[in-house]
């Protein structure tokens, strides 16, 4: 094991298609497994067989992450019409979809990856660790946010301590 990190990969974030409320019955086999790295195979296999991912597809959410925010907001009642919201690590857009569904119209999102539009949200493709990003988001929002959502997470490298430190680093930058 070396401490060297592999180069970051850019993946396309496509809204998922299909799925049912109940999820899938039998585990589905990957038809494209041979063309993928083991970690990509594992991610795709989880995605294809995950009942929450299937439920998200059935409800038109772009990611299963939508249910994390739904549960949080059902408890904390953060999302209300008229507030300003920033969504850090927005791709593919599940959290922004939930915020818009709950009446938020003033919302900006940022991600390293491209995201299909979610009206009326404004979304930019940028690295949030760029010092220019925070001020730009506030300028786009027309003022300071009432709520900052962050689900930012770097691509994992499979080394637990490294992955933990990289995730914590992003959280700290988001809190600042
Ligand atoms: C778990 S996903 C977010 C899912 C999203 N909340 C949703 O509901 O669909 C984490 C996202 O953080 C993004 N990310 C990681 N590092 C970032 C950075 N430095 N700046 C902006 N986005 C970043 C990744 O590209 C990835 O799309």
Q: What is the pLDDT along the chain (176 residues), one digit of tens a residue?
A: 445 555 555 555 555 555 555 544 566 666 676 777 777 787 777 777 788 888 888 999 999 999 999 999 999 999 999 999 999 999 999 999 999 999 999 999 999 999 999 999 999 999 999 999 999 999 999 999 999 999 998 887 778 888 788 887 777 777 77
Measured CA to CA, the distance from residue 132 to residue 169 in angstroms comes to 18
> Are residues 69 and 55 located together in one domain of the fold?
no
Does residue 102 lie within any of the structural domains? yes
Domain count, the chain: 2
Q: Domain span at residue 37?
A: 15-60
* pLDDT at 134 (0 to 100): 94
| For ligand 1, atom 26: residue with the closest CA | 89
Q: List beta partners, residue 124.
A: 110
> Are residues 154 and 87 located together in one domain of the fold?
yes
Q: Which of 110, 124, 153, 175 maximizes ligand 1 atoms within 8 Å of its Cβ, making it the mutation to test the pocket?
A: 153
Measured CA to CA, the distance from residue 28 to residue 79 in angstroms comes to 36
Does residue 19 lie within any of the structural domains? yes
> Are residues 93 and 138 located together in one domain of the fold?
yes
Cα(89) to ligand 1 centroid in Å equals 3
* pLDDT at 162 (0 to 100): 84
Helix, strand, or coil (residue 4):
coil
> Are residues 95 and 111 located together in one domain of the fold?
yes
> Are residues 111 and 56 located together in one domain of the fold?
no
Does residue 10 lie within any of the structural domains? no
Number of C-alpha atoms within 13 angstroms, CB side, residue 110? Answer: 21
* pLDDT at 1 (0 to 100): 43
**CB-CB contact of 23 with 55 (8 Å):** yes
Residue 109 Cβ < 6 Å to ligand 1: no
Does residue 6 lie within any of the structural domains? no
């Amino acid at each position: 094991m070396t401490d060297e990190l592999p180069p970051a990969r850019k993946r396309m974030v496509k809204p998922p298609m299909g799925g049912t409320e109940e999820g899938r019955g039998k585990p589905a086999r990957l038809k494209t497994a041979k063309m993928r790295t083991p970690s990509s195979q594992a991610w795709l296999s989880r995605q294809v067989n995950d009942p929450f991912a299937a439920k998200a597809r059935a409800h038109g959410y772009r990611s299963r992450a939508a249910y994390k925010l739904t549960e949080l907001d059902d408890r904390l009642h953060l999302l209300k019409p008229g507030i300003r919201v920033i969504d850090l690590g927005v791709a593919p857009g599940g959290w922004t979809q939930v915020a818009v569904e709950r009446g938020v119209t003033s919302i900006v999102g940022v991600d390293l990856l491209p995201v299909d539009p979610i009206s009326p949200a404004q979304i930019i493709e940028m690295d949030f660790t760029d010092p220019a990003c925070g001020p730009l988001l506030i300028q786009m929002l027309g003022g300071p946010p009432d709520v900052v959502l962050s689900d930012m997470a770097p691509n994992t490298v499979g080394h637990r301590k490294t992955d933990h430190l990289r995730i914590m680093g992003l959280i700290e930058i988001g809190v600042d």
